[in-house]
């Protein structure tokens, strides 16, 4: 079931890139993200309330708060940086370089979460890096 949710996330992320790039033509990247953030905030808290999970806030320990708030800061920074890059470059190139975050996440997961290294993981990450380098070194035409 996780695979279905991951595919839905990938499709949604792809739509975000294309729609954001289209919307950034005459809009500052920070303003664009601020507009989208209002929707993100409204929709996610609506889902939390609808699911009846609001009481979980009281049950969370300090460590979880620190991790989640830190992730929120980096989510915000990542999106601001991504939108700025999208406002300046072609979406296909920006997203390719931005998605090398997958390889960085793999390395960090191995180091900090003690996830297992497999040959498939190494080959897959290598292919991702090679693809990003290949695209980055090609002519964007823009």
Does 136 fall in a domain? Answer: no
Asked if 32 and 20 count as a contact pair (C-beta separation under 8 A), the reply is yes
Asked if 75 and 41 count as a contact pair (C-beta separation under 8 A), the reply is no
Per DSSP, the residues of 31-93 read: HHHHHHHHHHHHHHHHHHHHHT-TTHHHH--HHHHHHHHHHHHHHHHHHHHHHHHHHHS-HHH
Residues 6+ apart with CB under 8 A from 24: 32, 83, 86, 87
In this predicted structure, what is the pLDDT of residue 139? 77
> Integer distance in angstroms from the first to the last C-alpha of the chain?
40
In this predicted structure, what is the pLDDT of residue 141? 66
Phi, psi of 138, deg, nearest 5: -85, 170
Give the angle 11-45-16 at the CA atoms, nearest 5°: 25
Does 23 fall in a domain? Answer: yes
Print pLDDT tens along the chain (142 aa). Answer: 999 999 999 899 999 999 999 999 999 999 999 999 999 999 999 999 999 999 999 999 999 999 999 999 999 999 999 999 999 999 988 988 998 999 999 999 999 999 999 999 999 999 999 998 898 888 776 5
Residues 6+ apart with CB under 8 A from 30: 80, 83, 84
pTM: 0.83
Does 78 fall in a domain? Answer: yes
Q: Which two tokens stand for residue 23?
A: 């919307």
Does 37 fall in a domain? Answer: yes
> Quick one: how many helices (H) and strands (E) in the chain?
7, 0
Does 69 fall in a domain? Answer: yes
Does 9 fall in a domain? Answer: yes
- Cα R_g (the chain), whole angstroms: 18
Total domains in the chain come to 1
- Full residue range of the structural domain in which residue 58 is found: 2-98
Does 134 fall in a domain? Answer: no
């Amino acid at each position: 079931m996780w695979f279905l949710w991951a595919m839905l996330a990938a499709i949604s992320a792809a739509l975000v890139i294309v729609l954001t790039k289209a919307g950034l033509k005459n809009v500052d990247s920070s303003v664009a993200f601020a507009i989208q953030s209002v929707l993100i905030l409204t929709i996610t808290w609506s889902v939390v309330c609808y699911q009846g999970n609001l009481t979980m806030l009281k049950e969370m320990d300090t460590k979880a708060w620190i991790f989640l708030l830190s992730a929120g800061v980096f989510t915000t920074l990542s999106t601001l940086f991504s939108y700025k890059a999208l406002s300046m470059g072609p979406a296909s190139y920006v997203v390719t370089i931005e998605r090398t975050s997958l390889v960085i996440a793999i390395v960090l997961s191995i180091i900090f979460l003690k996830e297992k290294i497999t040959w498939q993981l190494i080959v897959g990450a290598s292919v991702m890096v090679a693809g990003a380098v290949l695209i980055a070194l090609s002519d964007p035409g823009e």
